[in-house]
Amino acid sequence: DVDLGYLAKVTQGFSGADLTEICQRACKQAIRESIEAEIRAERERQARPNAMEDESDPVPEITRRHFEEAMRFARRSVTENDVRKYEMFSQTLQQSRGIGGNFRFPGDPTGGATPGSGRPGAGVGGSGFGNTDAEDLYN
């Protein structure tokens, strides 16, 4: 009975760790409730020793109520500013690595770099590595 679409909407911008915390709190709430129910059942068994035992799980699943309780403690740990900084850093890192959308294997008919063509990235590592038969592993 948990509406995951709605949960996703209200947790927009939460990190994976934030979402994990919510799920763990909901799970712990269900476990806590199950333990309390088991204690009550044990007391009832002791009070009525001849009564038939019930082997069902008192809390068989995590419910909407568990998530509602967990959401009382939910918080977003990453600000919009932090996200923008990360995105800028990620973009800078990708550009500095030099591997982008222009990568092509040698001999690619769509105009990729070929060994010795003088274009950036020509050959493996641009060093001419792999051009001699002595380096062929299977000869």
Q: What three-state secondary structure class fits 36?
A: helix
User: In this predicted model, what pLDDT tens digit does every residue of 106-123 receive, in sequence order?
Assistant: 986 765 554 555 555 444
| Residue 38's CATH number | 1.10.8.60
Total domain count, the chain = 1
φ, ψ of residue 63 in degrees (nearest 5): -115, 175
Residues 6+ apart with CB under 8 A from 28: none
What's the chain's average pLDDT? 81
133 in a structural domain = no
pLDDT of 111 = 56
User: In this predicted model, what pLDDT tens digit does every residue of 38-95 receive, in sequence order?
Assistant: 898 888 888 887 767 667 777 789 999 999 999 999 999 999 999 899 999 988 888 8
Domain that holds residue 69: 4-82
139 in a structural domain = no
pLDDT of 82 = 92
13 in a structural domain = yes
| H helices, E strands: number in the chain | 4, 0
90 in a structural domain = no
Q: What's the pTM value of the predicted model, to 2 decimals?
A: 0.59
pLDDT of 4 = 93
3-state secondary structure 43-96: HHHHHCCCCCCCCCCCCCCCCHHHHHHHHCCCCCCCCHHHHHHHHHHHHHHHHH
- Residue 130 scores a pLDDT above 70: no
CA distance 37 to 9: 33
